[in-house]
Amino acid sequence: MTQIRKVEVTEVGPRDGFQNEKNPISTEVKVALINRLIDAGIPRIEATSFVSPKAVPQMADAAEVIKGIDRSKGTIISALVPNARGAIRAAESGVDEMVLFVSASESHNKKNVNRTTEESLQGFEEVARIAQDAKIQLHGAIATAFGCPFEGDVPVERLAMISKRFQEMGFVGMTFGDTTGMATPKNVRAGVRAVRAAAPKLAMNLHFHNTRGVGLACVMAGLDEGVDKYESSFGGIGGCPFAPKATGNICTEDLVYLLQEMDIETGVDLAKLTAIACDVETVIGRPLPGQIMKAGHRLELHDMNAVRTAEG
């Protein structure tokens, strides 16, 4: 077993979670939640997306959100950037990092951005020039990295090819995006090994969805492979367009709890994080799938005389 002692947790809720919310969330609320995440010790936050406001109205305030964020603690503030226009806006806003997405599967990339993956990768070069001129670091994300809802299994050669291109374009890191919850311990191991061989300079992030209940089991496999960066969302907010009742991203509090209980340092205050998740639930107005926010920490003890128990 690889002995990971420290993990970087990236909170993606403000982007990957909020992006799919139909009811508008105010800029003030977003900024306040992000600043509380920073105060709780989260070291990297995917704060927003510089997509077209027409395509995703919820992200129209991207620049204002970035402007409101407390930068005093050195938290890495990243934002999703789909094209050169978004990159210019992101650079002006002063983000620390631009995240560029491409799908491992052709059909998902076509569906998502109406381009071939090669066209997406070529488009990244223009974005990369804008970022590099502004001295902003670049991070690549591979959607459908562990399976495509249209094609099924994704060959690891695709992950290797794309991550190699990321490295050649000077990206500092990459994320395996488990877009629709198709990751398993087995394909996580295979993907990590393939990318490590193809692009050894890239920092690796694993971004799992708990759509099929095995998100944290995949984290265990990732830790065993020596991966020390994971992405998750507060309360487990986010969903899956293919399974309306299923859950989305793995939950940040549950992930941090798991890591802490394995003596892995995260630098995160779990109690503060849990309070934030409860407030996100109030903002969203429906129950979130996070468990620690419902059950509390395992060592929050109970009064023997206050509860009826049952065998089992």
Residue with tokens 């420290």: 6
What do you get for the CA distance between the two ends of the chain, in Å?
A: 32
Least Å distance, CB 72 to a copy of itself, is 29
282 binds a copy of itself (CB under 8 A): no
Among the listed ranges 115-123, 155-163, 251-259, 272-280, the one in contact with a copy of itself (CB under 8 A) is: 251-259
Least Å distance, CB 140 to a copy of itself, is 13
116 binds a copy of itself (CB under 8 A): no
The residue among 152 and 285 lying less far from a copy of itself, judged by its C-beta, is 152
Within 197-236, the residues that bind a copy of itself by CB under 8 A are 210-214, 216-217, 219-221, 224
287 binds a copy of itself (CB under 8 A): yes
27 binds a copy of itself (CB under 8 A): no
**How many whole angstroms separate alpha carbon 148 and alpha carbon 143?**
9
Residue 48 sits at φ, ψ, to 5 deg, of: -170, -170
295 binds a copy of itself (CB under 8 A): yes
Least Å distance, CB 274 to a copy of itself, is 11
- The H-assigned helical ranges of the chain are 27-39, 62-68, 84-93, 106-113, 117-133, 156-168, 185-198, 215-224, 252-261, 270-284, 292-295
Size of the site for a copy of itself (CB under 8 A): 77
Among the listed ranges 31-39, 68-76, 117-125, 145-153, the one in contact with a copy of itself (CB under 8 A) is: 145-153
**How many whole angstroms separate alpha carbon 13 and alpha carbon 16?**
5
Residue with tokens 């050649």: 168
The residue among 198 and 234 lying less far from a copy of itself, judged by its C-beta, is 234
Of the candidates 299, 310, 221, which has an alpha carbon nearest to the alpha carbon of residue 260?
Answer: 299
The residue among 87 and 198 lying less far from a copy of itself, judged by its C-beta, is 87
Helix (H) or strand (E) holding 206: strand 203-207
| CA-based torsion, 14, 231, 220, 5: positive or negative | negative
Least Å distance, CB 253 to a copy of itself, is 8
The residue among 198 and 290 lying less far from a copy of itself, judged by its C-beta, is 290
